[in-house]
Amino acid sequence: MTTKDYRTKRPLTIFLSYFPRHWKLFTVDLLCAMAIALIDLSFPLITRSALYDMLPNQMYRTFFTVMVTVLCFYGLRTFLNYIVCYYGHTFGIRVEADIRADLFRHMQELSYDFYDQNRTGQLMSRLTTDLFDLTELAHHGPEDLLTSILTIIGALVVMGTIQWRLALVVAAMIPVFLILVFSLRRSMSNASRATKEKTGHINQEIESSLSGIRTAKAFANEGVENARFGAANEVYKTSKRQFHKAMGRFASINEFFLCSLNVAVIGFGGWFVMQGQMDYRDLLTFTLYIATFVSPMRKLSSFSELFANGFAGLHRFVQIMGTEPTLQDKEDATDLTGVKGAIDVEDVSFTYDGDLPVLRNVTLHVAPGETVAVVGPSGGGKTTLCQLIPRFYDVTEGSIRIDGHDIRDVTQSSLHRSIGIVQQDVFLFADTILENIRYGRPSATEEEVIEAAKKAEIWEDILSMPQGLQTYVGERGTLLSGGQKQRIAIARIFLKDPAILILDEATSALDSVTEAKIQRAFDALSVGRTTLIIAHRLSTIRAAHRIISIAGGQITEAGTHDQLLTTGGIYADLYRTQNSR
């Protein structure tokens, strides 16, 4: 199903499209539920037969035989109920898991700008709490709806054969009940959707607070975080209060109607008995059928509540699934293969918000195997330029080509495989050192991981750890030093072995001795590869073939280290400032 389908199709149609994948479980669930409904429908008829025939005619043996048979059927009903409960929930969980998998897969396809605009806590809520109610809806929704309709119709038919006037009274009350249910369902659905939005808000506050717990402690601001969480929690409580009000109105009116149904049957039935138009035994049978009748009515009301909760989450799921990735491969996009590493940036301008320009008319040509350092003041556009080359964002104007291929004409996956990036803000997964390095090439052997670790000057540190490569790095690598995290990220790039390297302050967290070792490793890795180095510490880029400075979104100067010192521009000022300390 495409993003266009998610935008144009009804949420119910989208939801039901997940059912055929598990049709066997679904069929077993419905058949067992229908068998339970048939057993429930048969008991009042058996009771009526006992009152009319068996007991008045002293058919005691038959009576007790029938009672034992009924007991056996109730034993079967118990087993069927177990099947419905266990396999029905299994079916619901599988549907929920499929929906969650599709949502996560789609999130992987969305572009950088989507994550610039959406907080992690909100997205976590979409993946977890929003979908929990779908298990119950997938399980109980079709089952309760089908069995309730069958039971109600079956009960009305049987009651019509007993006393059609009284059956007509019951039938006339059903539309009133359905109107009440569906009119109140909308308010419940709106309240449920608001609750889920507030849940996403509190999740984002939790995610933010837990991620920044070390900063909070460093500033002794636990009280500030508690107050922030308390405010979000209060908003959540308010939204829950509105939902519970809607649910309370729904449940109360529903119970009043069901109780009124009993009163109507006894009242009208008593009148028919007084008029000699009905036997008291038929009235007893009617009351038994009303008890059978009330159960599916309650299920219908519960279904309405399930529908409100489930569809609130489903609506938010469909909303994201209908979001088109900003950057998409062209239909005729080709794979970028045999990359030599020539980069041509032609008259490129870029803005994040369509208003404030970040880059303006930037032109840069990098030959295969050339090392180009990019320097300049913060906010000048250095990192932005290097994010445009792997097409994390599309240029606003101009073009970027690799080996003569416009990067918009090649597949993003092949482009990303050809480029290795070590960023200033290193991200490590909460896993072992082995798996974090292997992330550069998931198929790599342990020997290849070790070789990459040696090249990145981290192997000796790993050997000194009690569990070696199996050492757990903690959340975002918090159990390692800043230098260790950066070297693991560098080892990941060694393992990836790309044709183009982008080093965004890749040695910023290293001490001078380790930095010198890493620099030698980078020099070796850069041989025959195109390398772009973003650096503030100018001592790390003196050996670059060319240095360019970017300020105000434009390239202001370009040349070798010596040439730029002679020119006396931005680079010379930065160099003198750093060497005068």
Judgement on whether residues 8 and 44 belong to the same structural domain of the protein: yes
331 occurs within a structural domain: no
Q: Indicate the number of domains in the chain.
A: 2
DSSP string, 293-356: HHHHHHHHHHHHHHHHHHHHHHHHHHHHHTPPPSS---TT-B---S----EEEEEEEEESSSSS
Residue in 358, 360, 362, 369 with CA at minimum distance from that of residue 345: 362
Q: SS3 sequence, 353-410?
A: CCCCEEEEEEEEEECCCCEEEEECCCCCCHHHHHHHCCCCCCCCEEEEEECCEEHHHE
Judgement on whether residues 268 and 163 belong to the same structural domain of the protein: yes
Judgement on whether residues 117 and 170 belong to the same structural domain of the protein: yes
Q: What is the predicted pLDDT for the residue at 403? A: 92
Residue 304 sits at φ, ψ, to 5 deg, of: -60, -40
- For residue range 500-536, list pLDDT tens digits in order: 988 887 665 566 676 676 677 677 677 778 989 887 7
**What element of type H or E holds 419?**
strand 419-422
267 occurs within a structural domain: yes
Judgement on whether residues 561 and 423 belong to the same structural domain of the protein: yes
Which residues span the domain enclosing 360?
343-579
- For residue range 338-357, list pLDDT tens digits in order: 888 899 999 999 998 777 88
453 occurs within a structural domain: yes
Residue 133 CA to residue 140 CA, distance in Å, equals 11
- Cα distances (angstroms) measured from residue 61 to each of 51, 71, 544: 14, 15, 103
Given a contact cutoff of 8 angstroms between Cβ atoms, the answer to whether 320 and 103 are in contact is yes
Quote the pTM value: 0.74
463 occurs within a structural domain: yes
Residue in 455, 541, 463, 545 with CA at minimum distance from that of residue 496: 455
Q: What is the predicted pLDDT for the residue at 521? A: 67
The angle formed by the CA atoms of residues 7, 10 and 16, to the nearest 5 degrees, is 115
The angle formed by the CA atoms of residues 150, 152 and 154, to the nearest 5 degrees, is 65
Residue 19 sits at φ, ψ, to 5 deg, of: -70, -45
Judgement on whether residues 312 and 423 belong to the same structural domain of the protein: no
Judgement on whether residues 312 and 448 belong to the same structural domain of the protein: no
Q: What is the predicted pLDDT for the residue at 563? A: 84
Given a contact cutoff of 8 angstroms between Cβ atoms, the answer to whether 250 and 305 are in contact is yes
Q: What is the predicted pLDDT for the residue at 405? A: 92
Residue in 469, 418, 432, 430 with CA at minimum distance from that of residue 447: 469
Residue 63 CA to residue 456 CA, distance in Å, equals 87
> Amino acid letter at 351?
T
Judgement on whether residues 274 and 409 belong to the same structural domain of the protein: no
Judgement on whether residues 246 and 127 belong to the same structural domain of the protein: yes
Contacts of 567 (CB under 8 A, 6+ apart): 557, 559
Distance of CA 363 to the CA centre of its chain: 40
Given a contact cutoff of 8 angstroms between Cβ atoms, the answer to whether 514 and 487 are in contact is yes
The angle formed by the CA atoms of residues 120, 122 and 124, to the nearest 5 degrees, is 70
- Cα distances (angstroms) measured from residue 387 to each of 10, 352, 400, 437: 38, 12, 11, 22
9 occurs within a structural domain: yes
Q: What is the predicted pLDDT for the residue at 211? A: 66
Q: How many other C-beta atoms lie within 10 A of the C-beta of residue 581?
A: 4
Q: Which two tokens stand for residue 108?
A: 């992987």
**Helices 482-496 & 512-526 angle (0-180, nearest 10):** 10
* Domain containing residue 123: CATH number: 1.20.1560.10
Judgement on whether residues 294 and 365 belong to the same structural domain of the protein: no
Contacts of 538 (CB under 8 A, 6+ apart): 375, 571, 574, 575, 578
Judgement on whether residues 254 and 105 belong to the same structural domain of the protein: yes
Judgement on whether residues 403 and 445 belong to the same structural domain of the protein: yes
405 occurs within a structural domain: yes
Distance spanning both ends of the chain, measured CA to CA: 61
Q: What is the predicted pLDDT for the residue at 217? A: 65
* Domain containing residue 519: CATH number: 3.40.50.300
- Domain ends where: 321, 356, 377? 321
- Cα distances (angstroms) measured from residue 511 to each of 331, 514, 515, 518: 48, 5, 6, 10
Q: Where are the alpha helices (DSSP H) in 56-163?
A: 60-109, 112-117, 120-127, 129-162
Residue in 476, 559, 496, 485 with CA at minimum distance from that of residue 518: 485
The per-residue pLDDT of the chain, averaged, comes to: 81
327 occurs within a structural domain: no
Residue 382 CA to residue 547 CA, distance in Å, equals 12
- For residue range 423-464, list pLDDT tens digits in order: 777 888 888 889 989 988 888 899 999 998 988 888 888 999
Q: If you search the block for the tokens 């250095």, which residue do you land on?
A: 382
Q: What is the predicted pLDDT for the residue at 79? A: 93
Q: What is the predicted pLDDT for the residue at 581? A: 53
Given a contact cutoff of 8 angstroms between Cβ atoms, the answer to whether 89 and 135 are in contact is yes
87 occurs within a structural domain: yes
Residue 481 CA to residue 255 CA, distance in Å, equals 63
Q: If you search the block for the tokens 């977890």, which residue do you land on?
A: 128
> Amino acid letter at 36?
I
Taking only the tens of pLDDT, the chain with its 581 residues reads 778 888 888 888 888 889 898 999 889 988 988 888 888 878 777 777 777 777 777 787 888 888 888 889 889 989 998 888 888 888 888 888 898 888 888 888 888 888 878 777 778 878 877 787 787 788 777 877 788 888 888 878 877 877 788 788 888 887 887 777 777 766 766 777 777 777 766 777 776 776 667 667 666 777 877 887 777 777 777 767 777 777 777 777 777 877 787 788 788 888 888 887 877 777 777 777 777 777 777 777 777 777 777 777 888 888 888 888 888 888 888 998 888 889 999 999 999 877 788 899 999 999 998 889 888 887 888 888 888 999 988 999 999 999 999 999 999 989 988 988 887 778 888 888 899 899 888 888 999 999 989 888 888 889 998 899 999 888 777 888 877 888 888 888 888 888 898 888 766 556 667 667 667 767 767 777 898 988 777 767 777 889 888 888 888 888 888 888 888 777 788 777 777 65
Residue 276 sits at φ, ψ, to 5 deg, of: 75, 15
Q: What is the predicted pLDDT for the residue at 447? A: 92
Judgement on whether residues 300 and 349 belong to the same structural domain of the protein: no
- Cα distances (angstroms) measured from residue 213 to each of 207, 216, 445, 480: 10, 5, 37, 17
